[in-house]
Amino acid sequence: MKEKIFINGRGGCGKSTFISLIAKELSKNNKVLIIDMDEGNLGLNKMLNVDVADTSLMEYYGGRDKIMGEILKVGIKGMVLEKINLKDDAASDSIDILDNMKLSDLPSDYVTWNVNIGFIESGKINDPDEGCACPMGNLTRDFLNHIELQDNEV
């Protein structure tokens, strides 16, 4: 299987439960990467029995302010990743974001694996005055556009 699956819906409709069940089933024969875009819920990784990396995807690419600044420059529908330079202290195993990325190339800075299930936290809103989730959504959209799946990857 070589598919990208996007699941969304209103709060409380069972997205996390559905994602954890389908990920566990698909991981029997595939490598599955889950990108958690829920900026408030902290439980999906626990349902998948996967640790959360020390760095979220948003933090890895410079943080909320840097990403929001790029969104304001290129517009809400622009490709944010192509404009962002990795922060200076990015890990040496970082990859060129202008190239398509393979799951096996993703740095352990922001992705963790438990056998065939990988987990990336896009970012979280921890304080009420942090603002909107726009930076996380735009970054994740661009990130997904740069993922090149191989056979048996979802």
pLDDT one-digit tens code per residue, 85-132: 544 444 444 444 546 778 888 888 889 999 999 999 888 776 677 666
Burial group, residue 101, by CB count within 10 angstroms (0-12, 13-18, 19+): middle
Closest among 90, 100, 83 to 135, alpha carbons compared: 83
Q: CA dist 81 to 13, 23, 104, 127, Å?
A: 31, 27, 19, 25
User: pTM score, two decimals?
Assistant: 0.79
- The residues that bridge with 112 in the sheet, in sequence order, are 119
Say which residue, 32 or 65, is predicted with more confidence: 32
Q: What percent of the chain has pLDDT over 70?
A: 77
Cα dihedral 87/123/67/100 (nearest 10): 70
Q: 8 near 154, Cβ under 8 Å?
A: no
Q: What is the pLDDT of residues 65-90, one digit of tens each?
A: 777 777 777 665 655 555 555 444 44
Flag whether pLDDT at 32 surpasses 50: yes
- Can you say how many angstroms the Cα of residue 23 is from the centroid of all Cα atoms in its chain? 15
Give the confidence band of 13 by pLDDT, cuts at 50, 70, 90: confident
Predicted pLDDT of residue 117? 94
Q: Which of 145, 5, 11 is nearest to 79 (CA)?
A: 145
